[in-house]
Amino acid sequence: MPTITADALKRMLRLPADVVTGTPRVEKDPHGGDVAVVPARPYAGDMGRCARCGRRGRPYDRLGMRRWRHLDVGCVKLLLEYAPRRVDCEEHGVTVEMVPWAGRKSAYTRDFERQVAWLSVHAPRSAASSLMRVDRKSVGPVRRRVADGLRAGQGPGLFDGPRSIGVDETSYKKGHTYMSVVVDHERGRVVRMRDGHGEKAFDLFFQALTPAQRESIAVVTGDGARWIDERVFRWRPTAERILDGFYIASWASDALDKARTAAWREAGKAGAAEKGARDPIKGARRALLKNGADLTAGQRARLECVANTNESLWRAYKLKERLRMILRQSPGEAAPLPRQWAADAFLSGIPGFVPLGEKIARRRFDILRTIRSGLSNARLEAVNNRIKTTIRMGYGYRNLDNLIALVMLKCGRLNLKLPGRQ
CB 175 within 8 Å of CB 204:
no
Query: How far is CA 391 from its chain centroid?
Result: 9
pLDDT in tens, 346-366: 998 888 899 999 999 988 888
Q: Is the pLDDT of residue 28 over 70?
A: yes
Instruction: Quote the CA–CA distance of 228 and 377 in Å, as a whole number.
Output: 14
Q: What is the pLDDT of residue 395?
A: 59
Instruction: Quote the CA–CA distance of 26 and 34 in Å, as a whole number.
Output: 7
Q: Is the pLDDT of residue 396 over 80?
A: no
pLDDT in tens, 192-226: 888 877 788 888 888 888 888 888 888 888 877 88
Report the candidate in 294, 301, 313 with the shortest Cα–Cα distance to residue 256. 313
Q: What is the mean pLDDT of residues 393-414?
A: 78
Q: Is the pLDDT of residue 81 over 90?
A: yes
pLDDT in tens, 127-165: 889 999 999 889 989 999 999 888 887 765 666 667 888
Q: What is the pLDDT of residue 1?
A: 34
292: which DSSP letter?
G
Q: Is the pLDDT of residue 111 over 90?
A: yes
| Amino acid making up residue 241 | R
Q: How many CB atoms lie within 10 A of CB 284?
A: 21
Lowest-confidence segment of 68-72, 194-198, 267-271, 314-318 by average pLDDT: 267-271
Helix (H) or strand (E) holding 253: helix 245-271
Report the candidate in 101, 81, 63, 84 with the shortest Cα–Cα distance to residue 23. 81
DSSP code string of 315-382: HHHHHHHHHHHHTTS-HHHHTTHHHHHHHHHHHH--TTHHHHHHHHHHTHHHHHHHHHH---SHHHHH
**Among the ranges 55-59, 171-175, 282-286, 383-387, which has the highest mean pLDDT value?**
55-59
Q: What is the mean pLDDT of residues 110-120?
A: 93
Q: What is the pLDDT of residue 328?
A: 85
Q: Where residue 307 falls among pLDDT bands split at 50, 70, 90? A: confident
User: Under DSSP, is residue 188 helix (H, G, I), strand (E, B) or coil?
Assistant: coil
Q: What is the pLDDT of residue 273?
A: 47
Lowest-confidence segment of 201-205, 243-247, 276-280 by average pLDDT: 276-280
